[in-house]
Amino acid sequence: KAGVTQTPRYLIKTRGQQVTLSCSPISGHRSVSWYQQTPGQGLQFLFEYFSETQRNKGNFPGRFSGRQFSNSRSEMNVSTLELGDSALYLCASNPGQSTGELFFGEGSRLTVL
Amino acid sequence: AQSVSQHNHHVILSEAASLELGCNYSYGGTVNLFWYVQYPGQHLQLLLKYFSGDPLVKGIKGFEAEFIKSKFSFNLRKPSVQWSDTAEYFCAVVAGGYNKLIFGAGTRLAVHP
């Protein structure tokens, strides 16, 4: 069974630009969550989608948004990039239960110059 | 607000030494508790979990953790570490439903042959 796939794996953007990251969950998984990992703040929850609906959201500004498609694939978007948005963005999937048992992808490493 | 504290940020051990990593959380209600591990160059993966029942849980690769409700703790242990255990270990908690994990800051473990 293929794992969680995230694209792109690496990207470089400049301040003010926007970025879209993509996540394909494990087949059959209907919940997709996104996390930001930085050396200073650690792992922080961004949001979770289930059946195309956002069912939980972390404490991030509105520049961070996401969506989920009918095939459970998810995208997250960050607009008006700031230097502090440089991070590893992790996607995780789950069959749909609200247990916290998540299967993570390898992440998309975003560098903002 | 819920939080997770990991007592050690860096741990260095020799092979065959015993390991104990401390984790405390702040939440008075029912929680699901986890240890996730991130091996060098690999994705974050589940090491073990506690939902209910026996407070001593066993995970992969010989790891175990003990939930002590009165101390709000979920410490990770391994009797004899191996060089391949070199990784970063994250304690996490889910409280209040859904898949919003609150992570500790992580502990970097280095095991020397």
Considering only CB atoms, B105 lies closest to which of A42, A55, A99, namely A42
Percent of residues, chain B, with pLDDT higher than 70: 98
Cα B75 from Cα B67, distance rounded (Å): 7
Banded pLDDT at B97 (limits 50, 70, 90): low
User: To 5 degrees, how large is the angle CA B83–CA B43–CA A69?
Assistant: 170
The SS3 call for residue B84 is: helix
Region B10-24 average pLDDT: 97
The answer, for A87 touching chain B at a CB cutoff of 8 Å, is no
Give yes or no for a contact between A90 and A110, defined as CB atoms under 8 angstroms apart.
no
What integer pLDDT is reported at residue A1 of this predicted model? 66
Q: State how far Cα A98 lies from the chain centre.
A: 18
pLDDT for the residue numbered B96 = 66
Q: Which residues of chain A have pLDDT under 70?
A: 1
Percent of chain B with pLDDT over 90: 85
Look at residue A61 and give its three-state secondary structure: coil
Question: Is the model's pLDDT at B38 over the cut of 70?
Answer: yes
For A88, name the nearest residue in chain B, comparing CA atoms only.
B43
Distance CA B40, CA B24 (A): 25
pLDDT tens-digit profile of B70-81?
A: 999 999 999 999
Confidence (pLDDT) at B82: 97
A71 at the B interface (CB within 8 A)?
no
Best mutation target, A48, A68, A93, A99, to test chain B (most B CBs within 10 A): A99
If you average pLDDT over residues B34-50, what whole number do you get? 95
The DSSP string of B96-109 is SSTT-EEE---EEE
- State residue B80's pLDDT score: 97
**Which residue from A31, A2, A4, A1 is spatially nearest to A103, judged by alpha carbons?**
A4
